[in-house]
Amino acid sequence: MSHACLVANPAAGRGRGARRLPAVRRALAAAGIDDVRITRGPGDERDLAAAAVASGIDTIVALGGDGTWGNVARGIHESGRDARLVPIAAGTGNDFARSLGLPAGDAVAMSRIAAGDASVRVDLGVANSITFLNVAGVGLEAEVLQATQRITWLGGPLVYVAAALPLLRTYRPLRATIQLDGDQPGEASNYLAIIVSNGPRFGGGFHVAPGASVTDGLLDAVIVQDAPPLRRLNLFVRARMGKHVGEPEVNRRRIRRARLGFETAPLLDADGEIHRLSEQTLDIGVLPGAIRVGVPSDSDRANMTE
């Protein structure tokens, strides 16, 4: 049995973390896990995870959403130790867990995974010095994420839609140069969004990179040229269904690294958390198989399919 603890973010999902916490604690206790560590503020997951791993914990159950899971993965990676991450969903999007087909909304099933030792290695992305599990992006996508913080009357994935609709008309395009892998950098151009994704989904179900894999050692660059407002709306709707790929404004490519240059330092979305860049250059790369994530054992998989 693993030495496991829970790192819980009560603020995740606009309080959903706090509401789910009692049931998650009961499920984990039934599986023999009663070490619980609660965040007190934004980003605490990273420090709690690093301290837990340093104390000998080899499995960290993370209650929250993509931001919480990304911060826990960051703490594990920076510790230099090979601990497992076991995500339990309580966030707004919870997209990373879906990329592995995990039953992250089922606390009992995830507690069984936490008590076992089965895992799969997944890639980590790095944007300058910021690691990400699921996605990093600049442009409209990051502006929408920032705008969600001002919407308090709505929860769940619909908050992204409510934040995006006004911005589709008013957003000022991002001017950038892009260099993918070893290619020559392109000319500066206006972009609606530049997204580098590890998994296939973000924003609570936007299929930004259909078919992307978190275990292939590659990232998916999805580059969207700017367009007039009505065309922006069309691209937004199609992205929700994963049908934007192939549109004339959209270029998708699987890469190992990218360098983006900007006239002014933009906002960066990394796993659903906003970072204000201090540089006008963003270097993005991949760390293949850098993190272990808990998965069902063979016997649990057999029971799930019966």
Q: What per-residue confidence (pLDDT) applies to 301? A: 62
Q: pLDDT grade, residue 299 (50/70/90)?
A: low
Alpha carbon of 129 to those of 46, 119, 196, 271, 275: distances in Å? 14, 26, 15, 14, 11
Above 60 in pLDDT, residue 1?
Answer: no
Q: pLDDT grade, residue 204 (50/70/90)?
A: confident
Above 90 in pLDDT, residue 152?
Answer: no
Q: What is the mean pLDDT of residues 100-116?
A: 96
Q: What is the mean pLDDT of residues 83-91?
A: 96
Q: When comparing pLDDT for 43 and 7, which is higher?
A: 7
Q: What per-residue confidence (pLDDT) applies to 303? A: 61
Topology given in CATH for the domain delimited by 4-117: Rossmann fold (3.40.50)
**131-288 maps to CATH 2.60.200.40:** yes
Ranges assigned E (strand) in 41-200: 59-64, 84-89, 119-127, 130-132, 135-139, 174-180, 189-197
Q: Give residue limits of the domains in the chain.
A: 4-117, 131-288
pLDDT tens for 160-196 read 888 889 999 999 999 999 999 988 888 999 999 999 9
Report how far residue 204's alpha carbon sits from residue 97's, in angstroms, rounded to the nearest whole number.
11
Q: What per-residue confidence (pLDDT) applies to 148? A: 82
Using the structure block, give the residue that is written with the tokens 């990373």.
Answer: 96
Spatial CA neighbour of 101 closest among 20, 213, 18: 213
Q: What is the mean pLDDT of residues 113-122?
A: 96
Average pLDDT, the chain: 92
Q: What per-residue confidence (pLDDT) applies to 305? A: 44
Pairing between strand 135-139 and 250-255? unpaired
Report how far residue 122's alpha carbon sits from residue 215's, in angstroms, rounded to the nearest whole number.
5
Among 154-158, 201-205, 220-224, which is the least confidently predicted range? 154-158
Sign of CA dihedral 204, 210, 212, 213: positive
Q: What is the mean pLDDT of residues 201-227?
A: 92
Ranges assigned E (strand) in 68-163: 84-89, 119-127, 130-132, 135-139
Pairing between strand 84-89 and 59-64? parallel
Those residues whose C-beta lies under 8 Å from the C-beta of residue 175, and which sit 6 or more positions away, are 188, 189, 190, 191, 262, 263
One-letter amino acid of 289:
G
pLDDT tens for 228-280 read 999 999 999 898 888 899 899 999 999 999 999 999 999 999 998 899 999 99
Spatial CA neighbour of 63 closest among 110, 30, 29: 110
Q: pLDDT grade, residue 32 (50/70/90)?
A: very high
Above 50 in pLDDT, residue 306?
Answer: no
Above 80 in pLDDT, residue 298?
Answer: no
Above 70 in pLDDT, residue 156?
Answer: no
Q: What per-residue confidence (pLDDT) applies to 2? A: 67
* 137 close to 127: Cβ distance less than 8 angstroms: no
Q: Which residues pair with 121 in a beta bridge?
A: 292
Collapsing DSSP to helix, strand or coil, 55 comes out as coil
Per-residue exposure over 7-43, b if at least 16 CB sit within 10 Å of its own CB, e if not: bbbbbbbbebbbebbeebbebbeebebeebbebeeee
* 125 close to 219: Cβ distance less than 8 angstroms: yes
